[in-house]
Amino acid sequence: MPSPEKRVRVERGLYKTGNLYYACATPPGSRAAIWKALGAVNLMEARRLRDKFCAEVQGAPAASLSATRRTFGDFAGRVARRTACSQERRRDVAPDIRGIRARSSTPRASGLRRMAGSGNWACGPGRVDEEVAKGRLRPHSIHNYGRSLHLVLTHAVRQGLIASSPADRLTSAERPKPGSGRRRFLDRHEIGLLIDAAPDRYRVAIACGPFSGLRLSEMLGLTWGDIDTRGAMLRVRHQMGRDGKRRALKPTAARRDVILIAQLGNELRKLRLASPYSSDEDLVFCSTAGRTIGHRNLTARGLEKAAMHAGLKGVTFHVLRHTFASILIANGHDPVFVSRQLGHANAAITLKVYAHLFDAERHADEARTRLEADYGALLARD
């Protein structure tokens, strides 16, 4: 065993002296580390032997791991189920982990399979960002997958499958970035073009986007009992899952009353009179059989077709939600009111997402007032 002075740490659990590698692991419930000489091998072989040694020391024999041939996708699926059960408020993490599991069985994510192939979970630090980015996703999606991949690898370290997470060794340049924080929204002219081009069957649903700010799942979860035309409010209490099941909104902030303008209320009233399913328990936007029209139908056959006919690009239901927020901000409403209308957990989230709109509105008013005070008399002198 080399002296501590000569031992050089390569990474967690792996040390080197000259051309010899050594593995270090601590048994559960003990503070005394166990060392093992790995010999004069290359770095990848040293990592493999280190992982095998750590698994044995921590009570998970390497033979059982290789026998089960645990794949990356299967393990990510288990982490996704555990995350969905124990961290209900982190709803944005579990779907991304499921996406990683799905992509681990597709050709363009073959690198993810190689990261787990034949029980070998070790990979270089740069491979994490590289393999996730191979999917040619948008920056925000890459950031979400990278964050979820980091969580999967952390669970693998905790269970002794690997000695250290390669995601922890990423440099700042290699870490996936969330992309630009700017949000697209439609102006008055674009809203008119979109609604005029909308198919009759989906026209009211599309109009609800820029004038209520509902999420797509919340819009599909509306029933006629949730619409209060006298009080001019939409009571948002449920959402429609992609499996066609209507569920109550779990976050308290998401349960809210959204303002309902008179014109949209009239359109909803006409839709109810024309619908064969018009009781308070029936869905507002339903199929001919009374079931939900579905996320894909409303998006592909409704919004995407309307945007194409209107000549608009990059229009999604989330863009319509941003449009509603921009309208409220342009009308001078404070962040707290905007946050409650959008169903954000607090006003800090609203400020983080729409800070540029609040700043633009405030600076425009200040600049206009100062210009009028300083130079307005020059125009009115004559």
Give pLDDT tens digits for 68-77. 455 666 677 6
Return left, alpha or beta for 348; rule: phi > 0 is left, psi -120 to 50 is alpha, else beta: alpha
* Residue the block writes with tokens 């198919």: 199
Q: 291: pLDDT confidence band, cut at 50, 70 and 90? A: very high
Measured between alpha carbons, how far is residue 61 from residues 28, 54, 68 in Å? Answer: 14, 9, 12
CA distance 277 to 285: 10
Measured between alpha carbons, how far is residue 187 from residues 210, 315, 324, 326 in Å? Answer: 10, 12, 10, 9
Phi, psi at residue 34, to the nearest 5°? Answer: -110, 135
CA distance 34 to 39: 16
CA distance 378 to 229: 50
Percent of the chain with pLDDT over 90: 32
Q: In the β-sheet with 14-17, what is the strand arrangement from edge to edge?
A: 8-11, 14-17, 20-25, 34-39
DSSP annotation of 40 = S
Least confident of 4-8, 278-282, 331-335: 4-8
CA distance 103 to 88: 23
Q: Which is more confidently placed, 304 or 67? A: 304
pTM of structure:
0.58
Q: 219: pLDDT confidence band, cut at 50, 70 and 90? A: very high
CA distance 213 to 338: 10
For residue 44, pLDDT over 60 is answered with yes
Contact 127, 166 (CB under 8 A): yes
Q: Which is more confidently placed, 133 or 262? A: 262
User: How much is the average pLDDT of 97-125?
Assistant: 42
